[in-house]
Amino acid sequence: MWPSPGESAHANGLPKKQGARPLRFWREDAAPQVQVARTHCRSSISESIISSPSVTHPAMQNVSASTPMSNSPRTLLTPSFNGYPSPFRHDVLESLERIFRSSPNGQLSKRWREYHGCNYWSGLLSPLDPDLKAEIVKYGDLVQATYDAFDNKDSETRGHCIYKEQELLEKAGLSGTGYTVTKYIYATSDIHLLPKWMERSIGRSEGRHETAWIGFIAVATDAREIARLGRRDIVIVWRGTVTQCEWLEDVDGTMVQPGDSFMVDESLPSTSSSQQQKQKQQLHDGSHHHLDCEAVGVERGFLTLYTTRNGDAASTHGHLSACKQVRDELKRLMNLYKDEKDSELSITITGHSLGGALALMSAYDITEHSVVEKDVPVSVISFAAPRVGNAAFKARLEQAGVKVLRVVNTNDMVPKVPGILVHEESPLPGSSPSTQALARHDRHYSWSTYVHAGVELRLNNYFSPFLKKNVNMVGSHNLQLYLHLVDGYRSSSMPFVCVSAERHRQIKPFPSQIIGNKQHECSPHTREKIRVCMRFMKRDIALVNKESALLVDDLHVENNWHEKHIPKPSPRLSPLPPKKEPQRNHFNNFMRYLPQSHFEDISHSIFV
């Protein structure tokens, strides 16, 4: 515990000068989206007598206590906001402040293999280690850069990145991460491989190829970042679904065997490769005469997007498949840095939604076909990733040493597909006499069942006091929402900072109130909880509304501010205005302020 106001901090083994909890990057400009200010914290609730600050500017301001009760008050980083600091103190807050302040400043060099998943992140997920949390958010920001830089408008650059490789991270505000982009990845959708019923429904039987920018490969090049990580990290970043053809590939949930999909000779023209035509027909039929229960099975749409190349002469980036691009660049980087003795190499693959599926596909590819050496660890950190393959696919990843961490929102539907009805937790047929008819198909049933790979970090947007309670299916899949929940996650019993899961379920929902021209959805208890949580949120809350409208209106953050091309707003939580009394007519006002003695005289003169 922290020393009492009369005790010395140095006597208890703590440093004399208590600083704020350190940043997770090696310099301050590496996290430009965080706005913080220093404020004083009370040691007990009885000492918390806080006066109201005078608000002189609509933007975020520094708010501090009027008179510190201790000669050596404790300080912490807290987002500044336009409102009143909370006098609420609790043992949970004391514990959280100790964890934040005693963090080793994000130095991962001594334990980098644990943070990279060598033990499947054992002991780091519940409670969530602050440094692992910062790493997860860092990879999530890299994935968000692919959404921000992708051009999906009707223009000449449609389907491409609007920035060059050298300026992508700088334009995305991630120049301080210490990574350098070395290669853009393009993927080709092949509508030939759609189910026949969908081809008839969209009226396209001749097929269609579409190539789009879907990610990039970057490597840690800054010396300080390499020293902080303890190795030279190569990261492969995959974007989620954006284009219509990618949506059509997502819904193609037929499971197929990869076979020779990764072995196509891409030096041959697409029209003259009989091997490719045979492979396409096999994937299109979705059937295998000699089914092996131990064979690897993956979703056909993901496999198509990863291994297809565009043979159209007009295509400038689709002449190589995404599979071939990843292999060539990894081999080049491995040969470039293999002789370094000062730092080791690691490969981290990350993605959101469809990108999470392609991250697993690429991890399977580079380990199964010996693209990287066996002593180079490979990890996958995915956000809202769907299921990709069967149990044999999962087993092959584990045998290859691939570590997978899946960040999942409970209310998100995408991680539940494909296989929403039949998945790894479904009962096997033939387990009871009533299912003997299905037992004969048990072999094909077990092979075509989709399963998740790796360990899971389960979040729940229901517990965040900053979010609206009516978040729809699209909103629960938002990547910025995921990063917000990761930033506030503490443990399974405390799914959001300062929010207990059991106690939160017992609180009845607060009906929205319309006061003046503004609708307030937060109860006074929730508003007080928001003020407490803002002290421990490192990530800027306004980023949640970057391309959505998920934050409560009481935070005064503009909805979809990125699409409206306006600067990022600053969240400010002002106190609820007092309720206006109902207006009275002149007679009621007269009777209200009329002295009681005069009223008795008037009534006596009337009724007597």
Examine the residue annotation and report whether 353 is marked as an active-site residue of this protein: yes
Output the six-digit token pair for 409.
């929102």
Listing DSSP states for 149-184 in one string gives: HB--SSSTTTTSBSS-GGGHHHHTT-GGG-EEEEEE
**285 vs 146 pLDDT, higher one:** 146
**122 vs 8 pLDDT, higher one:** 122
Mean pLDDT of 169-179: 91
Q: Are 537 and 497 in contact (CB under 8 A)?
A: yes
37-41, 315-319, 407-411, 566-570: which range is least confident on average? Answer: 37-41
- Confidence category of residue 442, pLDDT binned at 50, 70, 90: low
The residue assigned the tokens 């069942």 is 449
Q: Are 305 and 189 in contact (CB under 8 A)?
A: yes
**221 vs 26 pLDDT, higher one:** 221
Q: Which of 141, 222, 252, 412 is catalytic?
A: 412
Q: Do you know the residue count of the chain?
A: 608
- Confidence category of residue 249, pLDDT binned at 50, 70, 90: confident
C-alpha span between 215 and 43 (Å, rounded): 48
C-alpha span between 229 and 211 (Å, rounded): 35
Q: What is the pLDDT of residue 364?
A: 96
How many beta carbons lie within 10 A of that of residue 110, not counting itself?
9
Q: What is the pLDDT of residue 534?
A: 85
Examine the residue annotation and report whether 570 is marked as an active-site residue of this protein: no
Output the six-digit token pair for 561.
């501010």
Examine the residue annotation and report whether 477 is marked as an active-site residue of this protein: yes
Mean pLDDT for the chain?
A: 74
35-39, 268-272, 561-565: which range is least confident on average? Answer: 35-39
> Does residue 546 register a pLDDT over 60?
yes
> Does residue 6 register a pLDDT over 60?
no
> Does residue 140 register a pLDDT over 70?
yes
Q: How many helices (H) and strands (E) does the chain have?
A: 19, 13
Q: What is the pLDDT of residue 155?
A: 78
- Confidence category of residue 594, pLDDT binned at 50, 70, 90: low
> Does residue 302 register a pLDDT over 70?
yes
Mean pLDDT of 386-390: 95
pLDDT digits (tens, 9 = 90+) for 79-129: 333 333 444 444 555 554 444 444 444 789 999 999 999 999 999 999 999
> Does residue 204 register a pLDDT over 50?
no
Among 78, 73, 21, which Cα is nearest to 47's? 73
Listing DSSP states for 247-284 in one string gives: HHHHT---EE--TTGGG--TTS-TTT-HHHHHHHHHHH
> Does residue 444 register a pLDDT over 70?
no
**299 vs 419 pLDDT, higher one:** 299
Q: What is the pLDDT of residue 86?
A: 40
- Confidence category of residue 593, pLDDT binned at 50, 70, 90: low
Q: What is the pLDDT of residue 581?
A: 56
Output the six-digit token pair for 287.
């059937």
Q: What is the pLDDT of residue 543?
A: 94
Among 93, 96, 98, 81, which Cα is nearest to 531's? 81
Q: What is the pLDDT of residue 160?
A: 93
C-alpha span between 33 and 100 (Å, rounded): 19
Bridge partners (DSSP) listed for residue 519:
514
Q: What is the pLDDT of residue 352?
A: 98
pLDDT digits (tens, 9 = 90+) for 232-248: 999 999 999 999 889 98
Q: What is the pLDDT of residue 419?
A: 82
84-88, 299-303, 380-384: which range is least confident on average? Answer: 84-88
- Confidence category of residue 477, pLDDT binned at 50, 70, 90: very high
22-36, 64-78, 465-479: which range is least confident on average? Answer: 64-78
Output the six-digit token pair for 526.
């929730």
C-alpha span between 477 and 415 (Å, rounded): 9
- The backbone region for 581, taken as left when phi is positive above 0, alpha when psi lies in -120 to 50, beta otherwise, is beta
Output the six-digit token pair for 280.
């396409």
Mean pLDDT of 334-339: 92
Among 433, 430, 424, which Cα is nearest to 443's? 430
> Does residue 536 register a pLDDT over 80?
yes
Mean pLDDT of 259-271: 55
Q: What is the pLDDT of residue 87?
A: 42
Residues with Cβ within 8 Å of residue 403, at least 6 apart in sequence = 116, 117, 118, 120, 121, 377, 378, 379, 380, 454
> Does residue 11 register a pLDDT over 70?
no
C-alpha span between 137 and 175 (Å, rounded): 15
Q: What is the pLDDT of residue 180?
A: 96
In angstroms, the Cα distances linking 239 to 99, 263, 355, 385 are 33, 24, 5, 11
Quick check: helix, strand or coil at residue 466?
A: coil
Q: Which of 80, 346, 353, 382 is catalytic?
A: 353
> Does residue 365 register a pLDDT over 90?
yes
Q: Which amino acid is at 66?
A: S
Q: Which of 317, 319, 477, 556 is catalytic?
A: 477
Residues of the chain above pLDDT 90, percent: 44
Q: What is the pLDDT of residue 144?
A: 96
- Confidence category of residue 528, pLDDT binned at 50, 70, 90: confident
pLDDT digits (tens, 9 = 90+) for 28-46: 444 434 333 333 333 332 3
Mean pLDDT of 274-280: 50
Q: Are 407 and 486 in contact (CB under 8 A)?
A: yes
